[in-house]
A and B are shown apart, each in its own frame.
Chain A
Amino acid sequence: MSEKKLELINISKSYPDGQETRLILDDLSLSVAGGEFVAIVGPSGSGKSTLLSIAGLLLSPDSGRILISGNEISGRSAKERTLLRRNHIGFIFQSHQLLPYLKTVDQLNLVRGKKTASDINAYELLSELGIENCANKYPSKMSGGEKQRVAIARAFINDPEIILADEPTASLDASRGRSVAEMIRDAVKKRNKASVMVTHDTRILDLADTVYKLEGGKLVL
C-alpha cells in the first residue's frame, strides 16, 4: 500500500432535527491510500452523503481533522476549499450532472487551466474509457452509460489525489452500472487514486477493496 491520500480523523457532525440535534457522524475516522477503492454502504439517512460531503470539502465537520496527502485541510476558507476541490478532488455524482450545453471536450476543460502540475490529455482519457467517439457530442446525444463515463473522465481530468463517487450507478441498469463501477475501479488503480464510493448497490461491492457499513455514525467493516 502506498501512502494515505485521504484521512478523516475523529470527524463528528450533527444536524438540528426539530428540537433536538441528531448526531450523524460520531467520532468517525477513515483513511484511504492511493490505489484503494473504498465502498461505503448504509441505509438512507445514515449519513453517507454527509460523510462524502465532508470528505469532498463541501461541508465542514463540527469537529475532527481532514488531511489530503498529509496536508491539514481543516479550517481553510471557502475560497481555498473551492480550489482544493478543483485540483485535488474528483467528483462523480449520482446521474451524470453534465452541463447540457457543452460538448464532452468542453465539459472536461471546464475546470482546467488553474492546474499546472498535470496535463492529462482529454482524448486519451476518453479513449481509455471507451468513449472517444463522444468527444464532440452534447450530453443529449449520448446514452446513460456514456454520459456517466464522461462524468468519470471529468472527475479524473485534473489528476486529483482523491475520487469521490456518490451512488455512481444509481441511474443505470445492472450491467451498465457494473461496467461503470469497473471503470472507476480500473482508473483508480491505474492512476493510484484514493477513492471513496457511496452506494447501496450491493452487486458492485465485490469490486471494492474495502467495504464499510455506516451505522450509528460510525464505520464498521
Chain B
Amino acid sequence: MKHAYKEILFGKKKYILIEILLILLMFMVLFLSGLAEGLGRAVTSAIENMDADHFIIDDSAEQLITVSSIETEDFDTVASIAGTNAAPLDIQRMYIKKAGEDEKINMTYFAIKPGSFTEPSVFEGTGLSESSAPNPILLDDDYKLEGIELNDKVYDSSTDIEFTVAGFVDDEMYGHTSVGFISTVSYTALREALSPMYTPKYHAIAIKGDFDESALPKGLELVPKQEVIESIPSYSAEHTTITMIVWVLIVVSAVIIGIFNYILTLQKRRQFGIMKAIGMTSGELAGIIVSEVCIISVFAAVVSLALTFAMAAGLPETMPFYLTVANAVTATAVFVVVSVFSSLLSIVNISRIDPVTVIGGGEE
C-alpha cells in the first residue's frame, strides 16, 4: 500500500488525469442512477412511502390496484380481523383546476381513511382528520410549483367538487403524476357526482404487517407491496432499462481502470523485472498493483459520491432525482470491486515477466 502510494504521489500528473476521467465517469454513473431511481419513484413513491406491507386486491386484477374492485362487505370482513391494520385505498387519475382558472392539472387521487396508517404525515398544514374543511385534500409539494398554497381551494375538473388544501406532503407520486390524498367520503361523493349509479367499493385494502391468507374473503388475494409496485404499468420496463444502463456504466468504468492499469503495467515491465530479480515475490508485486487500483478507485469513488450529493442538494424540486446513500454506496462498492478484478489482467502480465531479461544490457 505504501509502495503504491509513493508511486502515485511521484507520478501525480499522470494519475490526476486518470482520476479526473474516473471521477467524471463515476459521477455520471451516480447521477444517472439517481435520475433512474427518481424516475422510478415518480411512478411509485406514493405506494412505496405508504406505511403498508401488503395490499389485498381482487384476484382477477393481476395485482393492479386501479382495476381491482372490493366490496364493502369484504372490507368489513378483513377489518374485523386486522382491525386498524387494514385501511381502504382507492386510486383514481383525474384533473383538478385552480379557482377561477380553466387549465387542467394532472392529479392522482389517493382516497384513504383519514387518521389511518395510510395517511402520510404533512410537513406543512394539518392532516385530513384534523382539518375542519368539508373536503380536505393533502397535496404533494410539486403542486406548490403550480402556485397552489395552503388553504387554497382546488376543484375537481369533471365534477367541480371543491377541495380545501389542508396540508402538503413530500415525495408522493404515482404513474408520473403528483398525488392528492382525500378521504374515502370525499371520494364517494366524487364518484356519485360522476355516475349516480355508483355504489361504494374499494380498489384495495392496505394491510400493515401480516395477514392470514386463509382468512381472505373469496376472490381476493394478498399481494406484497413490492409486487404491487412492480406491477404498476411501465414501472418494470422503465426500471429494468435504466437500471441496466447504470450497471453497464459501472462495469465499463471499472474495466477502464483495469485497462489504464494494464497500460501502466506494460510501461513498467522492466521495473517489475528488476524487482523480481532482486527477490521480490510475485505476491508482493500483485499487492502493489492491487493497492494501486484500490487507491485510485476508492479516491474516485469518494470524490464522485461527494460531488453527486453536493449537486443533488442544488437540484430543483421538479427534477426527478432520488439517490439513497445505500444505493450510491452499493454502486461505488461494486465499482471498486470490479476495478480490482480487472487489475488481475495486469497481475497475470507481470507474473509472466522473466527476471533474467534484466541481465546483460537488458533489452527486452
Contact call B276/A82, Cβ cutoff below 8 A: yes
* A106 interfacial contact with B, CB 8 Å: yes
Question: What CA separation (Å) do A169 and B266 show in the bound complex?
Answer: 28
* A166 interfacial contact with B, CB 8 Å: yes
Contact call A138/B10, Cβ cutoff below 8 A: yes
Chain A nearest CB from B268 CB (Å) reads: 9
Contact call B278/A111, Cβ cutoff below 8 A: yes
Question: What CA separation (Å) do A94 and B362 show in the bound complex?
Answer: 8
Contact call A56/B277, Cβ cutoff below 8 A: yes
Most buried by A among B7, B271, B358: B358
* B279 interfacial contact with A, CB 8 Å: yes
Q: Which chain A positions have C-beta within 8 A of B356?
A: 53, 58-59
Contact call B274/A93, Cβ cutoff below 8 A: yes
* B360 interfacial contact with A, CB 8 Å: yes
* A189 interfacial contact with B, CB 8 Å: no
A166 interface neighbour in B11, B278, B281, B360, Cβ under 8 Å: B360
Contact call B7/A101, Cβ cutoff below 8 A: yes
Most buried by B among A79, A82, A84: A82
What secondary structure prevails in chain B residues at the interface with A? helix
Contact call B276/A97, Cβ cutoff below 8 A: no
Q: Which chain A positions have C-beta within 8 A of B277?
A: 56, 58, 85, 91, 93
Contact call B360/A52, Cβ cutoff below 8 A: yes
Chain A nearest CB from B275 CB (Å) reads: 7
Question: What CA separation (Å) do A86 and B284 show in the bound complex?
Answer: 13
Q: Which chain A positions have C-beta within 8 A of B104?
A: none
Question: What CA separation (Å) do A122 and B288 show in the bound complex?
Answer: 23
Q: Indicate with 1 or 0, residue by residue over B278-294, a CB within 8 angstroms of chain A CB atoms.
A: 11111000000000000
* B355 interfacial contact with A, CB 8 Å: yes
**CB-based nearest A residue for B8:** A101
Q: Which chain A positions have C-beta within 8 A of B11?
A: 101
Most buried by B among A79, A83, A106, A110: A110
Most buried by B among A59, A84, A87, A99: A99
* A100 interfacial contact with B, CB 8 Å: yes
* A49 interfacial contact with B, CB 8 Å: yes
* B361 interfacial contact with A, CB 8 Å: yes
Q: Indicate with 1 or 0, residue by residue over B43-68, a CB within 8 angstroms of chain A CB atoms.
A: 00000000000000000000000000
* B6 interfacial contact with A, CB 8 Å: yes
Known: A52-B360, A79-B281, A85-B279. Contact between A58 and B355, CB under 8 A? yes
Q: Which chain B positions have C-beta within 8 A of A93?
A: 274, 277, 358-359, 362
Contact call B361/A94, Cβ cutoff below 8 A: yes
Q: Which chain B positions have C-beta within 8 A of A48?
A: 360
Q: Which chain B positions have C-beta within 8 A of A87?
A: 279
* A102 interfacial contact with B, CB 8 Å: yes
Q: Which chain A positions have C-beta within 8 A of B3?
A: 102, 110
Which residues from 254 to 282 on chain B have a C-beta closer than 8 Å to any C-beta of chain A? 271, 274-282
Chain B nearest CB from A66 CB (Å) reads: 15
Which residues from 6 to 56 on chain A have a C-beta closer than 8 Å to any C-beta of chain B? 48-50, 52-53, 56
Question: What CA separation (Å) do A189 and B61 show in the bound complex?
Answer: 94
Contact call A110/B275, Cβ cutoff below 8 A: yes
Contact call A86/B278, Cβ cutoff below 8 A: yes
Contact call B6/A97, Cβ cutoff below 8 A: no
Q: Indicate with 1 or 0, residue by residue over B335-364, a CB within 8 angstroms of chain A CB atoms.
A: 000000000000000000011101111100
A110 interface neighbour in B10, B280, B359, Cβ under 8 Å: B280
Question: What CA separation (Å) do A87 and B279 show in the bound complex?
Answer: 8
Question: What CA separation (Å) do A79 and B356 show in the bound complex?
Answer: 15
Contact call A106/B359, Cβ cutoff below 8 A: no
* A147 interfacial contact with B, CB 8 Å: no
Q: Which chain B positions have C-beta within 8 A of A59?
A: 356
Question: What CA separation (Å) do A93 and B275 show in the bound complex?
Answer: 12
Q: Which chain B positions have C-beta within 8 A of A154?
A: 278
> What are 26 residue pairs bridging A and B, where the CB atoms are less than 8 Å apart in the complex?
A48-B360, A49-B359, A49-B360, A49-B361, A53-B360, A56-B359, A59-B356, A83-B279, A83-B281, A84-B279, A85-B278, A85-B279, A93-B274, A94-B361, A97-B274, A97-B358, A100-B10, A101-B6, A101-B10, A101-B11, A102-B6, A102-B7, A110-B278, A111-B278, A111-B279, A138-B10
4 nearest interchain CB pairs? Answer: A86-B279, A49-B360, A101-B10, A85-B279
Instruction: Write the residues of chain A forming the contact surface with B, with a CB cutoff of 8 angstroms.
Output: 48-50, 52-53, 56, 58-59, 79, 82-87, 89, 91, 93-94, 97, 99-102, 106, 110-111, 138, 154, 158, 166-167
| Other contacts beyond A59-B356, A82-B276: 17, CB < 8 A | A52-B359, A58-B277, A58-B354, A79-B281, A82-B281, A93-B274, A99-B275, A100-B10, A101-B7, A101-B9, A101-B10, A102-B7, A106-B6, A111-B278, A111-B280, A166-B359, A167-B361
